[in-house]
Amino acid sequence: MAQHLVLAMLAAPLLLAGATGAARAAHASAGRPRRRAGRLLHARALRLLTSPPLAFALFAATILATHLTPCFDAAVRHPGLHALEHALYLATALPVLGAHRRR
**Is the pLDDT assigned to residue 12 strictly greater than 50?**
yes
| Whole-number Å distance between alpha carbons of 7 and 63 | 12
Cβ atoms of residues 61 and 93 within 8 Å: no
Question: So where are the chain's domains?
Answer: 2-101
**Is the pLDDT assigned to residue 101 strictly greater than 60?**
no
For 30-67, the pLDDT digits (tens) are 677 667 766 766 677 777 777 888 888 988 899 899 88
For 63-93, the pLDDT digits (tens) are 899 889 998 899 889 999 999 988 888 888 8
Question: Which one is predicted more confidently, 83 or 103?
Answer: 83
Q: Which DSSP helix (H) or strand (E) runs through 82?
A: helix 79-98
Mean pLDDT, residues 13-38 = 67
C-alpha of 22 from chain center: 16
Q: What is the pLDDT of residue 15?
A: 73
Question: Which one is predicted more confidently, 78 or 11?
Answer: 78
Please provide the DSSP assignment of 14-50 as one string: HHHHHHHHHHHHHHHS-SHHHHHHHHHHT-HHHHHHT
**Is the pLDDT assigned to residue 7 strictly greater than 50?**
yes
